[in-house]
Amino acid sequence: MESIAIRRKLTDRAMTGLFLFAAILVVAPLFLIFADLLWKGAKELRWSLLTDLPHPVGETGGGIANGILGTLTISGLAMAVGIPVAVMTGIYLAEYGRGWFASIVRFCVDTLAGVPSIIMGIFGYVLVVLPMKRFSAWAAAAALAMIFIPIVVRTTEEMLKTVPHSVREAALALGIERWKATLFITVRTAWSGIVTGILLAMARILGETAPLLFTALGNQFWQSRLDGPIAAIPLQVFTYAISPYEDWHDKAWAGAVVLILMVLSISMAARFFTREKKWKP
Amino acid sequence: MAIPTGNLKDRLFERATALFAGIVLALALLLFALLVRESLPALKKFGFSFITGTTWDPVAETFGALPFIYGTLVTSTIALLIAVPLSVGAAVFINDFAPPWLKGPVSFLAELLAAIPSVIYGLWGIFVLVPLLRDHFMKPVTRVFGWIPLFKGPVYGPSMLAAGVLLAIMVVPFILSVSREVMATVPQRQKEAVLSLGGTRWEMIRIVIGQHCIPGIFGATILGLGRAIGETMAVTMLIGNRPDILLSIFQPGYSMAAVIANEFTEATGDLYLSSLIAVGLVLFLITFAVNLAARWILTRLVAHASRGI
Amino acid sequence: METVNSPILKITELSAWFGANQVLRNIAMNIERNTVTSIMGPSGCGKSTFIRCLNRMHDLTPGFRLSGGIVYDGTDIYSDPIDPVALRRKVGMVFQQPNPFPRMSIFENVAVGLRLNGKNMPKSELAGRVEQSLRMAALWNEAKDHLSRPGTSLSGGQQQRLCIARALAVEPGILLMDEPCSALDPVSTGKIEELIEELGERLTIIVVTHNMQQAARISDFVAFFLMGDLVELDRSAKIFTNPSDKRTEEYITGRFG
């Protein structure tokens, strides 16, 4: 009897230790990655990184200013198209969507959300690059919008569904037209959650690389037109990382630091928005 | 008393939202239609042998996608073999063992892990993970177990193993969060019942998780598989990009997403491009089926849980 | 032209169904102007369903059907050209659970009905209307210094008075109240009851309640519902002292419900 009890206790201890170990292993890469980013990125981190164009191989200095502008341009375009489409679709699914049409739309949204991002690159290529016969910011934006839209549709629908039914009833009972009640009361109530969804989706597309490879293509110089190849930070990080040159590797790390700062600051902003605003008297 | 009539605006607004929903529907159909249309030349030429063919030779214009399908499956399998036990273990720790003050930070860190762009994972993989694995794992293992085909040398570094390990790190946050949700559906009273019978905490977890969470964890695993199959940059940067079917996981391979990423802009000739898009179509169909299966398992589970386990 | 003395609401032969389930049977009653009428009865007797027919809140409920007539100020509210949205401005409603709009201040909660009903008015006039509504709902003194606080920061009873102010702001002719005190403590309940008596002098109020004492305290008329039937409608004093129907007597003497 005694020995069985001891064995059970020991097994319990051992398993507890294993679970703890698993948890440590799960978060350890995060610390390793951040440490390496700071360590290896520090070498090339200076002001000119944010203000200068890339320099050719062998020349020191140079920056990723065109990539920063390009990333913001492409993501901005994608969001300008994506936000209205996604939010309105989310409103449709949450407020009106019943029956077969809504089910099919929901199915499509779920499907799109699971499509690998490289395939969205093919979409941008076939839809925009082939007919225009040139790589462009437009093609990249089309690919990113396809990633952006399903994420935002889902969060918008979910957030609207958290608004209690009593809120909609109260609005209708005041004699407010339904469309106004939906936009100015229901959507407004869920607004911070919807904005969080938009920000998280934005953070996601800022860091996407694969869909840009054959849509934006990348560019060594400034690009003032939307219908020509354009630079983007993730593309620059990729190109520098797989190049055979030492100094370009350093630039890849520095670019990665800039990229991760952009992505994380937006994720943080998203967290800030979700935080329930509690009234303190 | 005159009460004004008409809620034309209401109907217009509903139509407008439905119109946008229709746009999303159309985009999904358009994506599928374009993939099929552009793949047709390659699929017509090669037929079923496009999937079973092992030769990918752009010069001879012979395209068989099997090496990429193989590489994708091997790397995803390695990723899941590592990620599932780790995520499930970590999920149990966070849900049942961690002190309350630790739960928030740990899940926050896992969320951060999910937010890192994949090109940064790839960068870290090339310069940190690959040398680490090569010098401290792959080389010692081939020295001792090199006679096993799975661990055969020579060791270069970039390999299916390296890609698989990096993929594991990347899919952990997803499997972790779904597993935690699944485990949270087990009623507290069930756990307490085991404890009150004199069971240890491990026994409680074994019984409760074993009885109620296996399908959910399976669903989470399939979901992780869907992500691993489609991941592009990290794999492209680590897998070695060699279109051959090799048994040893220490050898380079190639994945479906990686071949599209690498060769798309270089594809000269319509058949070459069409073949790459056909690889995309195959990738699309596989992830579609995998995600559908995961959603099916998880929603069935939710329905089951709401009926009371 | 209806005269001032004619009933504000005439209900004839009102029956209602949820799917195949009949919940109201041939209800007929008149509601007089500027009176308080309590709808009383045990749970499931159809009293909530009944008052929700009066502002067409069931319109969006799938499977709901109704027959008979509800005539408000000479117009059948279910006849074709009637816009339910406009109707609901004339027939306001207060719910069982206080439900101020989350993420809106006290001021916005009261003002939002006026703003969204397309009444463009200068800010000063809007502020005046908000103050007037809050005063009518006896919340002004407590809320006037915190108008920019969220409506949800108020206590339960205050939230319910905020909802009353919100309903009053659009100046309805009738105010429907669906068990407005059932989620409140006794002190808050007392305040709301006082408020109902006061408002009843300028406004037609219909209150659903399952609390007989409350019905006796606040109403001019009481209607007793049982299993979807209107058993009896009479002056409050008459119902509680000398009911005509045996079932009413059984209910008020506590034999069922």
Residue C26's pLDDT is: 94
Minimum distance, in Å, between the CA of residue B125 and any CA atom of chain A: 9
Separation between Cα atoms, residue A251 and residue A40, nearest integer Å: 9
The total number of structural domains that make up chain A = 2
**Contact status of B59 with chain C (Cβ, < 8 Å):** no
pLDDT tens sequence across B227-249: 999 999 999 999 999 999 999 99
Are A9 and A73 within one domain?
A: no
Domains and CATH numbers, chain C: 9-100+174-252 (3.40.50.300)
Are A35 and A121 within one domain?
A: no
pLDDT tens sequence across C64-96: 999 999 999 888 999 878 888 889 999 999 999
Least CB–CB distance from B4: residue in C72, C74, C86: C86
Q: Between B7 and C69, whose confidence is greater?
A: C69
**Contact status of B8 with chain C (Cβ, < 8 Å):** no
Average predicted confidence (pLDDT) for chain C:
91
Specify the range with the lowest mean pLDDT, choosing from B194-208, C96-110, C241-255. Answer: B194-208
Size of interface A-B (CB pairs under 8 A): 255
Question: What average pLDDT does the segment B302-307 reach?
Answer: 60
The CATH number of the domain holding residue A256 is 1.10.3720.10
DSSP state, C100?
P
Least CB–CB distance from A210: residue in B85, B113, B233: B233
In terms of CA atoms, which chain B residue is nearest residue A111?
A: B288
CB contact under 8 A, B172 and A234: no
Residue A25 structural domain: 2-44
Are A146 and A268 within one domain?
A: yes
In terms of CA atoms, which chain B residue is nearest residue C87?
A: B3
Minimum distance, in Å, between the CA of residue B53 and any CA atom of chain C: 56
Q: What percent of chain C lies above the pLDDT cut of 70?
A: 96
In terms of CA atoms, which chain A residue is nearest residue B108?
A: A27
**Domain boundary residue among A44, A62, A78?**
A44
Q: What percent of chain A lies above the pLDDT cut of 70?
A: 97
For residue A227, pLDDT over 80 is answered with yes
pLDDT tens sequence across B149-186: 999 989 999 999 999 999 999 999 999 999 998 888 88
User: Cβ contacts (< 8 Å) between B6 and chain C: which residues?
Assistant: 83
DSSP state, A176?
-
User: Cβ contacts (< 8 Å) between C60 and chain A: which residues?
Assistant: 172
Say what the pTM is: 0.92
For residue A94, pLDDT over 70 is answered with yes
**Contact status of C116 with chain B (Cβ, < 8 Å):** no
For residue B43, pLDDT over 90 is answered with yes
CA distances from C55 to A167, A175, A177, A273 (A): 17, 9, 14, 37
Backbone angles phi, psi at B232, to 5 degrees: -105, -65
**Domain boundary residue among A28, A44, A60?**
A44
The residue among B1, B3, B9 with the most chain C CBs within 10 A of its CB, best to mutate, is B3
User: Cβ contacts (< 8 Å) between C147 and chain A: which residues?
Assistant: none
Average predicted confidence (pLDDT) for chain B:
91
pLDDT tens sequence across A104-142: 999 999 999 999 999 999 999 999 999 999 999 999 999
Minimum distance, in Å, between the CA of residue C254 and any CA atom of chain A: 33
Size of chain C, expressed as the number of residues it contains:
257
In terms of CA atoms, which chain A residue is nearest residue C93?
A: A173
Q: What percent of chain A lies above the pLDDT cut of 90?
A: 75
Pick the CATH number of B68-276 from 2.60.40.10, 3.40.50.2300, 2.60.120.280, 1.10.3720.10: 1.10.3720.10
Residue A277's pLDDT is: 47
User: Cβ contacts (< 8 Å) between C85 and chain B: which residues?
Assistant: 7, 10
**Contact status of B51 with chain A (Cβ, < 8 Å):** no
pLDDT tens sequence across C221-253: 999 999 999 999 999 999 999 999 999 999 988
pLDDT tens sequence across C171-218: 999 999 999 998 899 999 999 999 999 999 999 999 999 888 999 999
Confidence band of B262 (pLDDT split at 50, 70, 90) = very high
**Contact status of C209 with chain A (Cβ, < 8 Å):** no
CA distances from A83 to A80, A148, A201, B167 (A): 6, 8, 10, 31
Q: Taking the domains of chain B in order of start, what are their residue ranges? A: 68-276
